[in-house]
């Protein structure tokens, strides 16, 4: 019988490492042996799974589907073996990506308690506000806001976050307090460099959605950078309330245009691969976030 688990592991490793050479080093195989295994798998399935170039290996749509399912099967196999050897506790490396602001303010404080409760899990956390591809970035779980775009992924709501516009007391004393979104045209607005130059509001009188163009002398990809610049008095910032909750509580930042904020909070989701049997280390972390952040 063909070693299909071996083929799966070899193919997944090739995609993960990005080359036959790197996959071979990780598996103790020669690059040519890795290539032969992938070719044998493609012949058996009668479909092309990888586009090979001198620089990289790129999965075809069929290859992406196969690697997603294969990862799930290999995860379940590893967990079964771990349960037999060590008991039922979740274990293994868990790669998590979260947005910078929410991750730093809401997720990071929970990490010590999670690790203490689950000593078999090794947590690898990356904070980035950029859009990521779970497959290419080798991420098990992403914590993101907004609508889910990739139908091959699943999402579970872990929190709700209200959007706020804030500034330092010094900035407001110098430049004045905007009363309606239109007045933002005379203010310095600190922006994410990957978002459109509009801030959304909701008219408190009519309920209509308002997109207000904004401009300013500074933009960044990182919410913590924008927060620091905002605290220093350089302008107004549009962000999630969880990101600046401590600053608002202490008065370091002040909310403005509160009546114009959207009535519905933005949902924060844990996003993960959509295979039927979720690895227990992923499921455990998602359940933990839901319990700690009070949503689900």
Q: Say whether both 139 and 283 belong to one domain.
A: yes
- Could you tell me which of 174, 186, 245 has the C-alpha nearest to residue 216? 186
Domain-terminating residue out of 29, 62, 83: 83
Q: Say whether both 219 and 287 belong to one domain.
A: no
Q: Say whether both 173 and 229 belong to one domain.
A: yes
* pLDDT, position 179: 95
Q: Say whether both 34 and 66 belong to one domain.
A: yes
Instruction: Say which CATH number the domain at 214 has.
Output: 3.40.190.290
Question: Lowest mean pLDDT: which of 55-64, 116-125, 169-178, 245-254?
Answer: 55-64
For residue range 139-173, what is the model confidence (pLDDT) as tens digits?
A: 888 998 766 565 567 888 888 888 899 999 999 99
The CA distances from residue 116 to 73, 112, 157, 285, 291, in Å, are 28, 6, 24, 13, 16
Residue 154 lies in a domain: no
pLDDT at position 91 over 50: yes
Alpha-carbon Rg for the chain in angstroms: 23
Q: Say whether both 286 and 144 belong to one domain.
A: yes
pLDDT: which is higher, 294 or 296: 294
Domain-terminating residue out of 48, 83, 118: 83
* pLDDT, position 191: 92
Domain-terminating residue out of 36, 55, 83: 83
Torsion angle defined by CA atoms of residues 125, 12, 58 and 68, in that order, rounded to the nearest 10 degrees? -70
Domain count, the chain: 3
Give the chain's length.
Answer: 296
Owning domain of residue 72: 4-83
pLDDT at position 275 over 80: no
pLDDT (mean) for 68-78: 80
Instruction: Say which CATH number the domain at 76 has.
Output: 1.10.10.10
Q: Say whether both 98 and 22 belong to one domain.
A: no
Q: Say whether both 191 and 230 belong to one domain.
A: yes
pLDDT at position 1 over 50: no
* pLDDT, position 194: 76
* pLDDT, position 27: 83
For residue range 217-241, what is the model confidence (pLDDT) as tens digits?
A: 999 888 888 999 999 999 999 988 8
* pLDDT, position 237: 95
Residue 66 lies in a domain: yes
Name the pLDDT band for 104 (thresholds 50, 70, 90). confident
Instruction: Report the Cα 153 to chain-centroid distance in Å.
Output: 12
Residue 131 lies in a domain: yes
The percent of the chain in helix, strand and coil, each rounded to the nearest 5, is 45, 25, 30
- Distance (Å, rounded) from C-alpha 155 to C-alpha 271? 4
Residue 156 lies in a domain: no
pLDDT at position 21 over 80: yes
Q: Say whether both 133 and 275 belong to one domain.
A: yes
Q: Say whether both 180 and 229 belong to one domain.
A: yes
pLDDT (mean) for 23-49: 87
pLDDT (mean) for 76-105: 76
Strands 189-192 and 219-220: parallel
Residue 157 lies in a domain: no
Residue 155 lies in a domain: no
Residue whose token pair is 């295979």: 275
Instruction: Say which CATH number the domain at 131 has.
Output: 3.40.190.10
Q: Say whether both 167 and 260 belong to one domain.
A: yes
pLDDT: which is higher, 72 or 227: 227
Q: Say whether both 181 and 260 belong to one domain.
A: yes
Q: Say whether both 237 and 94 belong to one domain.
A: no
* pLDDT, position 2: 60
Mean pLDDT: which of 35-39, 86-90, 109-113, 273-277 is highest?
109-113
- Distance (Å, rounded) from C-alpha 182 to C-alpha 59? 47
């Amino acid at each position: 019988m063909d070693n299909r688990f071996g083929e799966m592991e070899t193919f997944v490793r090739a995609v993960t490492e990005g080359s036959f050479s790197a996959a071979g080093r990780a598996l103790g195989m020669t690059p040519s042996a890795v290539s032969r295994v992938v070719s044998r798998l493609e012949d058996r399935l009668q479909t092309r799974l990888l586009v090979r170039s001198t620089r990289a290996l790129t999965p075809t749509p069929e290859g992406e589907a196969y690697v997603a399912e294969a990862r799930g099967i290999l995860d379940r196999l590893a967990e079964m073996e771990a349960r037999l050897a060590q008991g039922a506790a979740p274990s293994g490396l868990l790669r998590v990506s979260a947005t910078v602001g929410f991750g730093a303010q809401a997720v990071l404080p929970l990490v010590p308690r999670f690790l203490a409760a689950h000593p078999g899990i090794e947590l690898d956390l990356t904070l980035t506000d950029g859009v990521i591809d779970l497959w290419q970035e080798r991420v098990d779980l992403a914590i993101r806001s907004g609508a889910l775009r990739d139908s091959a992924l699943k999402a579970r709501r872990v929190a709700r976050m209200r959007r706020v516009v804030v500034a330092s007391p010094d900035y407001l004393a110098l430049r004045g307090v905007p009363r309606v979104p239109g007045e933002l045209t005379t203010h310095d607005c600190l922006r994410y460099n990957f978002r459109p130059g509009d801030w959304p509001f909701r008219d408190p009188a009519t309920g209509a959605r308002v997109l207000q163009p904004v401009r300013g002398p500074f933009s960044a990809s990182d919410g913590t950078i924008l927060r620091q610049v905002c605290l220093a008095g350089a302008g107004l910032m549009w962000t999630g309330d969880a990101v600046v909750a401590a600053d608002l509580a202490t008065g370091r930042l002040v909310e403005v245009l509160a009546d114009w904020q959207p009535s519905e909070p933005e949902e924060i989701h844990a996003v993960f691969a959509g295979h039927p049997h979720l690895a227990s280390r992923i499921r455990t972390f998602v359940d933990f976030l839901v319990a700690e952040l009070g949503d689900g």
